[in-house]
Homo-oligomer: A and B are copies of this chain.
Amino acid sequence: MIDRLDRKILQILQEDATIPVAEIGRRVGLSTTPCWRRIQKLEEDGVILRRVAVLDPRKVNAKVTVFVSITTSQHNEEWLKRFAEVIRDVPEVVEFYRMSGQVDYLLRVVVPDIEAYDAFYKRLISRIDIADVSSAFAMEQIKYATALPLNYVPLEKDKGVA
């Protein structure tokens, strides 16, 4: 279970994972060791999945985002399994969701330009049997956060006092 302090720690680490443990402790009102132990536990418990570097899409020629809506006639486990496996190894596909409603699957694809998207698209449909695909292009990324909202985390009564 997560308490108020854990949540504060997560809030900080979601925004900047380079801040020293001692400083995080200071901010949340803990000394280094207990703060460090809490972070360890959050990692062990799988709340923190990993720490990564976030790059600027413009600087690595990944300027264009395309949302690809996919409809399939194959609504079976087997088909999805194969589809998911193929997608997992395609670096251009950055997000992949199974949807409710009209569309069956939604992909977020990142490429440098429209030509590259077209190439990607051809490769995709050659590898998997898809009934219907529709692409929507993003002109601008106005917000991109890796931080999840933490205001919905069920909070445990605070642990140690202080």
Give me the interface of A with B, judged by CB distance under 8 Å: 2, 10, 13-18, 45-57, 59-62, 65, 67, 84, 87-88, 91-103, 105-106, 110-112, 116, 136-154
Contact = CB atoms under 8 A, between A and B. Distances in A.
A98 B59 contact: no
A72 to B, nearest CB: 14
Contacts of A10: 53, 55, 60
The count of identical subunits is 2
A54 B106 CA distance: 22
Contact of A142 (B57, B98, B136): B98
Nearest to A9: B53
A148 B99 contact: no
Contacts of A139: 97-100
Contacts of A13: 52-53
B60 A49 contact: no
B148 A60 contact: yes
15 contacts: A2-B60, A15-B50, A15-B52, A52-B52, A61-B153, A67-B67, A67-B99, A84-B142, A91-B148, A92-B149, A95-B143, A96-B141, A97-B138, A98-B139, A99-B138
Given A96-B142, A96-B143, A99-B138, A148 B18 contact: no
